[in-house]
């Protein structure tokens, strides 16, 4: 079965890594063990330590090396988020775009802006608009504008309409029933008339809610044409907590999404960095983790997740 899966993925042109962060790949060595154990929102700030020292060439070298590592693992299409903020400015996305052009015969490299420090500071919006015009996909991290998430997503979606770009949004990452961001994103998608052009990245907390709520969210997602990217290894290490919730894995409930005819792709997320020091970006590992966690044994469905669905959410197919 496993060899059949591998062969069918090759026949479809190879793996699509629909979500990664190659601008910080292979940087785990710059962070202490204590730093590697810190929580997500603390790490959002920790990465400034290397970003302050980075120039265009260090980004270029790092992204290019990570692309080579991905190619060696049979990945033929990659979407990399790249930080766009006052620390990084335009260096990372310009480097990624240059690599995309120069290596177009080796790999398809799609760029997405990562709004790690938000989008609402007027002093930074010229930089953000320039990036939005230049990248392939507008990435969004609503938590970057904590407390102003509605204003954040309105800015992103208005920019998407202005520049005619797809949107990928980090939502429901913390594996807690306190989060209802997938529903919120679907409703915002409909409000902005962007049906079929928005993708939810992660949506792990969706599994923390009762089945009746989940089914209602799936219906709203159908109306919004919302698609999904799961990154199985990204949150499998989630700490135990005392919240009361349905028993579930710390992985996007992909089996249920598929039952409701929602498009799901797969990504590696972080590679050898402060977030995931041992993650190597192997998409076969990610796919196997997904199929075991969610009991998805349909080879044809797995092939779609690994290949054609990835191209769909990247606007390539």
Q: How do residues 154-194 score in pLDDT, each as one tens digit?
A: 999 999 999 999 999 999 999 999 999 999 999 999 999 99
Amino acid 168: pLDDT: 98
Confidence of residue 45 (pLDDT cuts 50, 70, 90): confident
Section 85-109 average pLDDT: 96
pLDDT over 80 at 111, yes or no = yes
Amino acid 183: pLDDT: 98
Amino acid 44: pLDDT: 82
Amino acid 59: pLDDT: 98
Amino acid 39: pLDDT: 84
Sequence-distant (6+) residues with CB within 8 A of 290 are 230, 232, 251, 254, 266, 296, 305
Confidence of residue 247 (pLDDT cuts 50, 70, 90): confident
Section 294-314 average pLDDT: 98
Q: How far apart are CA 249 and CA 264, in angstroms?
A: 17
Q: Tell me 21's DSSP state.
A: -
Amino acid 243: pLDDT: 77
Q: SS3 letters for 106-137? A: CCEEEEEEECCCCCCCHHHHHHHHHHHHHCCE
CB 126, CB 95: distance < 8 Å = no
Amino acid 263: pLDDT: 98
Confidence of residue 200 (pLDDT cuts 50, 70, 90): very high
Section 107-130 average pLDDT: 96
Confidence of residue 38 (pLDDT cuts 50, 70, 90): confident
Please give the backbone phi and psi of residue 117, each rounded to the nearest 5 degrees, phi first. -110, 20
Amino acid 248: pLDDT: 80
pTM of the model: 0.96
Confidence of residue 209 (pLDDT cuts 50, 70, 90): very high
């Amino acid at each position: 079965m496993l060899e059949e899966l591998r062969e069918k993925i090759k026949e479809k042109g190879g793996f699509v890594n629909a979500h990664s962060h190659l601008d910080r790949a292979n940087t785990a060595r710059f962070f202490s063990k204590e730093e590697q154990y810190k929580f997500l929102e603390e790490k959002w700030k920790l990465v400034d330590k290397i970003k302050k020292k980075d120039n265009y060439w260090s980004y270029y070298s790092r992204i290019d090396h990570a692309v080579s590592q991905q190619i060696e693992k049979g990945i033929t299409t990659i979407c990399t988020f790249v930080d766009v903020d006052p620390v990084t400015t335009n260096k990372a996305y310009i480097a990624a775009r240059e690599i995309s052009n120069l290596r177009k015969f080796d790999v398809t490299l799609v760029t997405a802006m990562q709004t790690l420090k938000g989008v609402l500071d007027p002093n930074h919006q010229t930089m953000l608009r320039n990036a939005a015009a230049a990248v392939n996909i507008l990435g969004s991290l609503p938590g970057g504008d904590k407390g102003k998430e509605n204003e954040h997503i309105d800015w992103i979606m208005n920019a998407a309409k202005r520049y005619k770009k797809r949107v990928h949004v980090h939502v429901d990452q913390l594996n807690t029933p306190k989060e209802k961001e997938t529903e919120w994103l679907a409703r915002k998608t409909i409000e902005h008339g962007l049906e079929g052009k928005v993708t939810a990245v992660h949506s792990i907390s969706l599994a923390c809610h009762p089945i009746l709520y989940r089914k209602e969210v799936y219906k709203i997602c159908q109306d919004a044409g919302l698609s999904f990217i799961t990154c199985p290894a990204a949150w499998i290490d989630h700490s135990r907590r005392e919240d009361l919730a349905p028993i579930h894995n710390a992985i996007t409930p992909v089996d249920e999404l598929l039952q409701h005819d929602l498009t799901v792709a797969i990504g590696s997320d972080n590679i050898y960095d402060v977030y995931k020091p041992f993650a190597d970006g192997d998409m076969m590992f990610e796919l196997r983790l997904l199929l075991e966690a969610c009991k998805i044994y349909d080879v044809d469905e797995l092939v779609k997740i690994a290949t054609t669905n990835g191209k769909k959410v990247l606007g390539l197919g």
